[in-house]
Amino acid sequence: MAVYGKIKTTAVILEPTTPASVPAGSIFNDSTNSSAFTNKTTGGSVDQVGATSSADYLIKYKKNMTGTTIPAYKRVALKTDGTIVLADSDNPTAMLDIGMSLDAIDPSAFGRILLNGASAPGALTGLGFATGDSIFLSKTPGALTNSSLGFDPNTDTIMRVGIADCATNVASSAATDLIMTVEVYSSPGGA
C-alpha cells in the first residue's frame, strides 16, 4: 500500500529554473518559458501544466509604458523594447500594429492583446532576432531570416511570415516568439 504525505500551507514558492536543471518527474517554474508552471515527466519530456489552449496563441500580455492608460478595444503597436503604444499610421515608433487591447491597460502594467495572427511561443529563441523585426521565409529550407536583401523577385518568393516579439508578460528587445502574419511581396509564377 502506498503512503502519501500531506502538506498544508498558504503558498509554495518555486524559484524559476531551467528544464535541464531539474530531475525527471518534477514540477517547476520554467525560466525559459516565461516562468510557466511546468512538469518534467519521468520520461524527460517538458510540458507546461494546464496545456495551452488555442485561444492562448492569439492573446499575449504586453506592457504599457506610455505613461497613460491604453483604453480597451484600441489598436496597439509593438515597440522595439517589447512594450506597446497606441498604433498610429503616421508615427514611425507606433506603426507596427500587432492587435487590439482587450481591457484598459494602466501605465507600467501588462494587459491582454488580441493579436492579428497566432503567436508561436519560443519559435525564435536563440536565433538572435530583435523584437519588432520583420521575419521572412529564408532561402535556406525551413529557416527564417530578418532581411529580404539578396532575394530576386523574378526567381524567389519574398514572404514576410511574421513579426519577432518577446514572450508574453515580458518587455524585452530580445525576441523569442513569432507573431505570424503572412504577407507575400513577390512570388514568381503567381503562386
- Rounded Cα distance between 120 and 111, Å, is 19
Looking at the fold, whether 63 and 109 belong to one and the same domain comes out as yes
Looking at the fold, whether 132 and 107 belong to one and the same domain comes out as no
- Rounded Cα distance between 143 and 161, Å, is 11
Looking at the fold, whether 34 and 68 belong to one and the same domain comes out as no
Q: What is the pLDDT tens value at each position of the chain, 191 positions in all?
A: 666 666 677 777 888 888 889 888 888 888 877 677 888 877 777 777 765 555 568 899 999 999 999 999 999 999 999 999 999 999 999 999 999 999 999 999 999 999 999 999 999 999 999 999 999 999 999 999 999 899 999 999 999 999 999 999 999 999 999 999 999 999 887 65
- Is position 97 within any domain? yes
Classify each residue of 126-136 as buried b or exposed e, where b means 16 or more C-beta atoms within 10 Å of its C-beta.
ebebbbbbbbb
- Is position 140 within any domain? yes
- Rounded Cα distance between 169 and 175, Å, is 13
Q: Global pTM?
A: 0.71
Looking at the fold, whether 66 and 93 belong to one and the same domain comes out as yes
Looking at the fold, whether 126 and 164 belong to one and the same domain comes out as yes
Residue among 158, 14, 163, 168 nearest 98 (CA) = 163
When divided into structural domains, the chain yields a total of: 3
| CATH code, domain with 101 | 2.40.300.10
Looking at the fold, whether 68 and 110 belong to one and the same domain comes out as yes
- Is position 2 within any domain? no
The domain in which residue 47 lies consists of 7-51
Asked if residues 143 and 128 have their Cβ atoms less than 8 Å apart, the reply is: no
